[in-house]
Structure formats: C-alpha cells, structure tokens
Amino acid sequence: MNLTKIAFTYRKSILMILALLLINGMFAYFTLPAQEDPSITIRNAIVTTSYPGMAPERIEQLITRTLEKEIRKIPEVEKLTSTSTTGQSVIHVEIYDRYFNLDNIWQDLRNKVKQAEANLPDGTRTPYVNDSFGDVSVVTLALTADGFTMGESHDIAKHLRDHIYAVAGTKKVDILGIQDERIFLEASSAKLSQLGISPQAIIASLQKQNIISPGGQIDTGAKSFVIEPTGNFNSIEEISNTHISIPDTGDTIALKDIVTIRRDYIDPPHQPAYFNGKPAIMLSIAMLPNYNLLEYAPRIKTKVAQVQSTLPIGYNINIATYQAEQVERTVRGVSMNVLQTLAIVLVVVVFFLGMRTGLIVGSIVPFVMLTTLAIMQYSGMVLEKMSLATLIIALGLLVDNGIVVAEDFKRRIEDGQDRFEAMCQGGKELALPLLSSSVTTILFFLPLILAEHVAGEFTRAISLVILITLLTSWVLALCVTPTLCYFFIKKDPKGKTNQEKEAKNSVFYQKYETFLHWVLNHKTLFMVSMLALLIISMSGFKFVSKQFFPDSDRTQIMVYIDLPNGTSAKETNRQMKQVFNWLDDKQRFPEITSYSGYSGFNGPRFVLTLTPEDPSDNKGFVVLNVKEGTDLNIMVSKLHNGLIENFPNVFGRVKRMFAGPSDSSSIKIQVKGPDKDLIYAKAQEIMDVLHQVPHTKNIRTDWENRIVKVMVKIDQHRARRAGVTSDDIATALKGFFSGTNITEYREGDDIIPILLRANDDERFNLDRLRTASVFSNTSGLAIPLFQVADFVPVNQYSKIQREDMFNTVSVEAANTAMTAQDLQKIIDEQIQALKTDLPVNHTIEYDGVITQSKDAQKALGASMPMVIGFVLILLVIQFNSYRRALIIVLTIPLLLIGTVSGLLIMNAPFGFMVTLGIYSLAGIIINNAIVLIDRIDIEISNGVSQYQAIINSCLTRLRPITMTTVTTIMGLLPLILNKDPLFYGMANVLAFGLGVGTVLTLAVVPVLYASFFKVKPA
C-alpha cells in the first residue's frame, strides 16, 4: 500500500480533513483546560486521633502503635509516618504510586481504623481520616474587617461562601482562620471551697437545666396537645441567673455570684490567619476537575466583586493567592517560546532548502501543532508547562520527516524522474524508514508512561505529546508534503543535477569525503579513539552537579516560622504579629506586594506539589507575593538573614517554590531504631556534621527540642484517706487549667460551647498547681492537691516520629551553594562513619529527595530493557538483519559524549528531566543511523559497490541529517537562552548531545558498517 499515492488521489478529502483539524486546533488552544502543573494523584491520607493532655510517649504507645498495627495490614500501603505529640497522634498513610483508584483503599483504611478503635484507651476521641488531602486552593480569598467582630465577619464569610458555590466549577470552599466563640465561666477555687460548691455541682445544675426535650402529648379525645417544658438557655442573662445549691444549707446562690461569666473568642487563639498583617478569614476555593482555570478564576473574581459591592463599609475581600495568574504567565511564556521556535525553525529550513521548498517543509510545523492541540482536546489532556514545553522540543523533531521527503522529491526530479513517479516512489521507499525512526523515538519516551513513580506521573504528558506530534508528523509528511511538493517544487530551469548543486559546498563535501576515506582505512584507530573519548566523558560525569527537580521561577516565597516546642499558641501568635510588623516595612521590603500569614498551621494547599506541614501550636507560615523581576535568591537570603538578626528566638526557614513534585533543595537524613535516646543523640551528631559544611542552613530535627512535663505523683494512701480518687484529681486539674465543656448555648443556628475553668490569675500561675482544689465526691470537701500528691519535673520528648513502625529521627538541612545531592557527596563519608558504632537494629539512611531521585531513576530504568528489546525487534524487522540492528544500537553511547560536555559547559545540573532528555536523545540519534543505513542498502541494491555505496550514502544524507540536527538545536534555543527552570538542563543535553552525536554518527556508522560487513577500501 502506497500511502502517498492514495493521499494524492483523494487529496481534496485529505485537505478538507486537515482544514477541519486546523480549525479545531485553533479552537482548542483557547478552550483547552489550562493549569500550572501537571495533575498528579495525591496518594496520602491522614489519620488524626486526639486525647487531650496525654503525654507524647503515652500517645505513641497507646494510640499510634495500635492504629499502625491495623493500618499496616492494608496491602496497598507503601509507607506509614506518624507523629505523636502532647494530646495528639497524626499518621500519614502513603499508597504505592501504581494505584490510581483510591476510593476503595480509603474505605479499607476507615474500616481498619474503626477496628482499632476498640483497643484505644477510654477517653480517646474518634479518629478522623482525611483523604481530601490533595484539594488545591486555586483561589484564596482574605476577608478583613475594620470595626466588626469576628462573629459578624464569620457570617459574612459564610454569605460569601454560599455565593461562590453558585459559580459553576466550584468543588469546595473551606473557611480558615475562624475564632470560635465560647461562653467562659471563670471561677475562683478559693471561693468555691469557701462555699463548698464543687465544679461537678455547677456542671450538673447547668446540664440538667439546659435541655431541649419534648414532654410528650396529651390526647383529650377531640384534640391532642404537645407539651414542651422550657429550660434551655435563651440568653447570657439566663445562664447568669441559674441558681446553684449550697451543700448542707438548703440555700441557693446565683451562678453570677460565684463565677465570672463572659462571652469571648476561643482562648488561646486557634489557628488564626492574617492578610498583610491584619486579622483575616481565609476562604480556600478548590475547582472541579476538567474546568478551565483561566475561565473559572475570572468568574470567581466577578462574583467576589459583586458580593463586595453589597457589603457594609469596612469589609474588604482581597485575593491572597490566585493560581490563574501563574498559569496565564506560564502559558503565555511557553506560547511565546513556541512562536520563537517556530520562527527559528522556518528560517533555518528556508536557509537550507530555499524559499519554495523551505516553506513547504515549514508548513508542516503549524499543521502538526494545531492537529496535536485538536487531538489533545479530544483525548482529555490539558495545557500545562509540561505539555506546552514538549511542543517546543517536538518542533525541531517533527520537521525531520518533511525535510527527508522534500529533499528526496527534489533530488529525484532533478535526476530526471517524472514528478508523479518521484512523489509515489519516494513515499513508498521512505514510509517504513520514517515510521521506524518516529516509532523508535516514541519508544524511548515509553518509560515515562510505564514508570510507577510520582515523577513519571508528573512528566507523563511529555511522552503523550511526543507520541501525538511525531505520528502526526509522519502522516502529514507522507500525505500532505508530497502533494505540496508535486504542485509547488519546480525543477531547476538550468537542469543542474543534484551533484552540481552540491558543488556550491564542494569544499565542505570534499573534506567530509576525504575524512570518510581516512576513517574507513583506519577503522581500529578511529574506534579506539571514540572509545577513549566516551570513557573520558563518562569520567567527567562526576563533576556534574545533581538536582532532582529545579526551583520554580514562581514569584512567591515561603517563610516557615518555628518556635521551641512547648511554646503556647498565644506566644506564637504574638511572635507572628512581630514578624508581620517587620514585613510591613516598605522601605526594607519594597519587593513584597502582599502576604498571607498563618499561626499554628500552614494554611491551604495552594500548589498541588506543596504539602502543608502538620498543624502545631509552635509553628507559623507566611506566603509572600513579590514583584515580577525580583531576584528570588537574593530575596530569600535577605529574608533569612533578617529573621536571624531581628528574631533570635525564632527558627525561620525561607524557601523558594519548587518546580517538580518535591523540594530538591533540602537534604534529609534519618536515624532509625528502638532506642529513642540513642537515635536522638546520633541525630545531634549528624547536625554537627552539617554545621561544618559552609553555607548550610535550616538544620533541624523533626523531634525538635525536649520539653518539661510536671508529673503529679499521687500518693494513693493519702488520697484514699482524703476521699479522692485518681480520676477526681485528673478531672479537677483538667477543668482547672484547660477548662471543661459543660453544655451548649444556642443562638439561632449557632452553637456556642459553655466552658468552666479557673480565672486567669490561677490558670496562668504554675505555683497554683500545688494549691489546686480537688473535691471529694464522698465528703464533699475541697482538698488542696499538695496534701495528696507530690510534684516532679520530667524531661520528655516533645514529638516522637515513626516511619514504618520504627522510631525515626529525621535531620533536615539546605545549602545555598549546592543541591541536596551534591551536599550528600560531601558529607557521606562522615555519615557512614557515624554508622559504625550503632547497635543492632539501628541504622542511618538518606530520605527525601535523595531516595526520591533514586526511586524515580529506578522507575524509569525498569522499563528500559523492554524498550531496547522493542527497538531491536523493530530494527530487525525493518532491515531483516541482526548486524544492521546492532550497528544502530551501538551508536547510542555516542550521545553521552555530548551530554556530559553540554552539562559541564552550560553549568546545568543532572536530574530527572535530564535523564528524560538522554532517553529521547537516544531515539533521535538512532533515527540518523536508520536513515543512513537504509540509504546504503538502496545504493547497493542499485548495483553500486559496498565501499562506494557507503561513501555515496554518507554524502547524500549529509545535508538532510545536518539540516535536521541544526533545526532541532536551533529550535531548543529559546529554552536555553531563557534558562527555563524545568527544561534548561534537558534542552542543553538535547542540543549538545545531538550536535556531537550527529557528527560522530556520520563517521561511526560507516565504520561499523564496513567492519561488520567486511567492506574493503576501494
């Protein structure tokens, strides 16, 4: 079957289909859903369980371990990491990357957690499983109010949320930073003791009065009447006037006479939020899948503007984060790069082939681009930086087929062949070699689709876009390009032959031919020199910097604020306000346009690849939006140094956003083992090693500092004599300092808890612990705590971290002068030395980006044997020869010579994207070898001697191969010159590897062919 002949016969239909695809492609560019990063599946869930006041070690032993044992039975679970802190257990459940349908897995997780509940200690709150961990806030709104209470602002926030849900495409709206209201009953223990009224008596009286319970119905025959007793509190005054019985007197006393009653917000503040230093309520808006963010976000803006116009003066709705702005910048930037590359490719093609032929070949570029966009829309793909940048890489590749077809047609008609015969014969001869070369390139991108790793999922669009563009290019090169050549390429009126036209470059061709004769006569010497060059290049690889994924150029900076563990939420909030005041200095920080701050938590997930840290009272987080053009590295250093100088008691970590699925700037080293004291001490030694490396910062362990616990050692003999139990003492202490929830006050649809606790003078005074009153249920008397207990300070771990059911201390650090992988090479010898004195079952290992990079490379490499096998099968089928297939495969190592030199010369780090570039480069290098060997076989079949066939084929294919190489390299220039963070290394590898590899291929392939087939020089 001759595809070119069929397409020419039905050219009107072909051109109509092409026109429809082009129109659809133009439409698709403006309507395809757009996003900043590729979609990846978040395979994490969090199981949170609390037991207020319980020590971390008890939480770990009684709650965390119990839950872990059940969860670990789920076969899809890859890793468990847990954190046990005072009063709370948090378990992160991570699923293997090969699973995509997670609903059944999460249901299995809930079932296992439910089974474990029966073995948890009494008083443990019901575990909460959060599997919506991956929802991204595409728009974060900040509601600020001047002159309004938090309660009033909360009502406005709920009003705004209801309006946002009316916008099509809204998935979820979370309200953050709300400070819930409480009604506080603050009592003096001395006064209660004087009256003989126990806290339990107050609690019982309020609970029994504050009821919402029907009294039934009375059926009188003809009618029935509903009976409803009153009692529930309708106002604060009713609560105040509740009468409490005074024991042994028969009298009562109003509640307001024995406690101070006030309505206020939760104290200490719970996870407050701020915008530009002002208290704010944040609304985190997540979008449904398959919606176009560039259309959805403006609709949100319009709706917000409508709501804003109806609000009282004093309310302001600000945009804290707006992902559409980043997406638009990414799409616009990459689109400009595509246009630049398109222009460069067209200029190069016209320069080599002349105006007429160049325009014919160049026309395939927009045809393929728009057809690819149309196919992407039909297949449900989206526009994001991976798929868009792949279009740039593909631009240089997709003209190869057109160049070969046009060159062949032109050569044939200049050799005197009939135009129709030249078109059909060329299409027939080139269809299989071009398909083979295209499929070979596609096969080398196959590992991305097959890789069972999040990095492979992150970059999967690259392989899909390459697949679409190259196959589309092959079809159009055989169906459209020959037709255009038939009608528009003219035979030179002077009748010059192809050889005569090449005489314009006679010096170049003669030098190349002379070189060919020399290498064919000195095959052994040449191949030995190539092998030596390859070995030298491989040895130079150790000087190449390594980075899994680069930093992003997103104009946002993250500031993590850590205070010593044990710091109260109130103190953390105070420190955060001081940081905000410092950031508000416009003379010091003119680059900052706005910022969002969170105390006690990290706010919403506003980027898919950024996982918020677990909430903690001693932590804060700030997201800075900075002006375009700001040098982010200088800004990060400025903020880091400023925090050290101005806030000595604060541990601040300032970071840029990262471009990949994880942060490549931080190294993570873990110490594992059953002995907590030993692994904690060993972690300190690792920190000392890191401190010795210049430019290393943010050195910390995830167990943080130790804290002091006051152990109340109850003397059971004295307690029994006083008539109090351990439960009485624990209940009294909890109510005294933390407060006890008594009942609820209902105001409309709002439910406000009523809390009984000691007054401020007693709650915040550690000395009052000794004299805290414990009421005996038997005697009704108040007993000072010191009469039945002693007090011992105990030093304990503030956090206990575990990984896969082993105690694990993680040490993290970052270096401003090198990547985490380069830092590993410097410290590895010392780290290995620290292992030598570890007892059995204790170990030190790397984690984080170090293992993620290795796992990603392993996942890519896992399918490479299969890919090589497919390529070999394809080549053997095409040439029906083992030797020819082996010659082609042996050219692959040549790419490493250019790859290593390119990375070193351009100072580009080696990472996941570079690995991907090397794989794709192998496919491109093979293409040149395929076309060259195919031409040699054609020459031999025409009766030319083997030696002369090698010379003629190399001279014939020199210009097409050189042209496609130069076109591809020039097409990569925008990515190289603009130093695109994600594609800079990959573009350099492709450019240098292809340039050097092509030059070497034009010599190595003829030498290998002559060696394998024992061709003797003429």
d(CA 323, CA 335): 18
What's the pLDDT at 738? 79
CA dihedral sign, ordered 724, 725, 726, 728: negative
Say what percent of the chain tops pLDDT 70.
97
Q: Which amino acid is at 931?
A: V
- CATH 1.20.1640.10 range(s) for the chain read 1-31+354-489, 506-543+863-1018
Instruction: Spell out the residues 6+ positions from residue 221 whose beta carbon is closer than 8 angstroms to its own.
Output: none
- CATH 3.30.2090.10 range(s) for the chain read 181-214+226-268+715-784
What's the pLDDT at 505? 52
d(CA 180, CA 689): 46
Label residue 167 left, alpha or beta by phi (over 0 means left) and psi (-120 to 50 means alpha): beta
d(CA 422, CA 412): 6
496 has a pLDDT exceeding 50: no
* Global pTM value: 0.84
d(CA 422, CA 929): 24
d(CA 87, CA 50): 5
The structure tokens listed for 15 are: 């051109």
d(CA 160, CA 139): 13
Q: How confident is the model at residue 498 (pLDDT cuts 50, 70, 90)?
A: very low
What's the pLDDT at 776? 77
List the one residue out of 939, 944, 931 whose CA is nearest residue 1002. Answer: 931
d(CA 235, CA 150): 19
Q: At what angle do helices 984-1012 and 523-539 cross, to 10 degrees?
A: 160
What's the pLDDT at 506? 64
426 has a pLDDT exceeding 80: yes
Give the CA count within 13 Å in the CB-facing half-sphere of 36: 23
- As a whole number, mean pLDDT of residues 810-820 equals 90
d(CA 557, CA 633): 10
What's the pLDDT at 626? 92
Topology (CATH) of 181-214+226-268+715-784: 3.30.2090
492 has a pLDDT exceeding 70: no
Query: How far apart, in Å, are the Cα atoms of 800 and each of 69, 315, 838?
Result: 17, 43, 20
DSSP-assigned beta bridge partners for residue 261 = 185
The secondary structure of 143-175 as a DSSP string is EEESS--HHHHHHHHHHHHHHHHTSTTEEEEEE
311 has a pLDDT exceeding 70: yes
Q: At what angle do helices 364-378 and 323-353 cross, to 10 degrees?
A: 150
Q: How confident is the model at residue 504 (pLDDT cuts 50, 70, 90)?
A: very low
Alpha helices in 74-198 (DSSP H): 103-117, 150-165, 189-195
- As a whole number, mean pLDDT of residues 118-137 equals 88
Q: What is the pLDDT of residues 746-771, one digit of tens each?
A: 887 778 888 888 888 887 888 888 88
Q: How confident is the model at residue 503 (pLDDT cuts 50, 70, 90)?
A: very low
- As a whole number, mean pLDDT of residues 264-289 equals 90
401 has a pLDDT exceeding 90: no
DSSP-assigned beta bridge partners for residue 166 = none
d(CA 552, CA 636): 13
What's the pLDDT at 213? 67
What's the pLDDT at 560? 94
Cis before residue 298, ω within 30 degrees of 0?
no
Q: Are strands 750-758 and 181-187 parallel, antiparallel or unpaired?
A: parallel
Instruction: Spell out the residues 6+ positions from residue 112 whose beta carbon is closer than 8 angstroms to its own.
Output: 70, 71, 73, 74
What is the domain class of 1-31+354-489 according to CATH?
A: mainly alpha
Find tokens 């014939």 and name the residue: 956
CA dihedral 544, 545, 548, 554 (to 10 degrees): -130
CA dihedral sign, ordered 949, 951, 952, 953: positive
Higher pLDDT, 303 or 984: 303
List the one residue out of 54, 70, 66 whose CA is nearest residue 119. Answer: 66
Q: What is the pLDDT of residues 231-248, one digit of tens each?
A: 678 888 888 888 888 887
List the one residue out of 651, 621, 646, 616 whose CA is nearest residue 559. Answer: 621
What's the pLDDT at 403? 82
Output DSSP code: residue 264.
E
d(CA 754, CA 202): 12
Lowest mean pLDDT among 26-40, 301-315, 629-643: 26-40
What's the pLDDT at 711? 87
d(CA 821, CA 545): 8
> Domain 506-543+863-1018 sits in which CATH superfamily?
Multidrug efflux transporter AcrB transmembrane domain (1.20.1640.10)
Q: What is the pLDDT of residues 506-540, one digit of tens each?
A: 677 888 888 889 988 988 998 999 899 889 988 88
The structure tokens listed for 899 are: 């790859």
- Output the average pLDDT for the chain: 86
CA dihedral 815, 817, 821, 823 (to 10 degrees): -60
499 has a pLDDT exceeding 50: no
Q: Is 520 helix (H, G, I), strand (E, B) or coil?
A: helix
d(CA 758, CA 735): 8
Query: How far apart, in Å, are the Cα atoms of 945 and each of 717, 780, 1017?
Result: 111, 116, 10
360 has a pLDDT exceeding 70: yes
d(CA 900, CA 993): 8
Output DSSP code: residue 257.
G
Q: Is 742 helix (H, G, I), strand (E, B) or coil?
A: strand
d(CA 789, CA 714): 4
279 has a pLDDT exceeding 90: yes
CA dihedral sign, ordered 486, 491, 496, 501: negative
Q: Which amino acid is at 862?
A: A
d(CA 959, CA 887): 21
- As a whole number, mean pLDDT of residues 922-930 equals 81
d(CA 172, CA 169): 9
Higher pLDDT, 851 or 222: 851
Higher pLDDT, 329 or 45: 45
Backbone angles phi, psi at 814, to 5 degrees: -135, 150
Query: How far apart, in Å, are the Cα atoms of 756 and each of 4, 345, 764, 768?
Result: 87, 76, 15, 17
Backbone angles phi, psi at 273, to 5 degrees: -125, 155
- As a whole number, mean pLDDT of residues 695-711 equals 90
Q: What is the pLDDT of residues 135-173, one digit of tens each?
A: 889 999 999 998 888 888 999 999 999 999 999 999 999
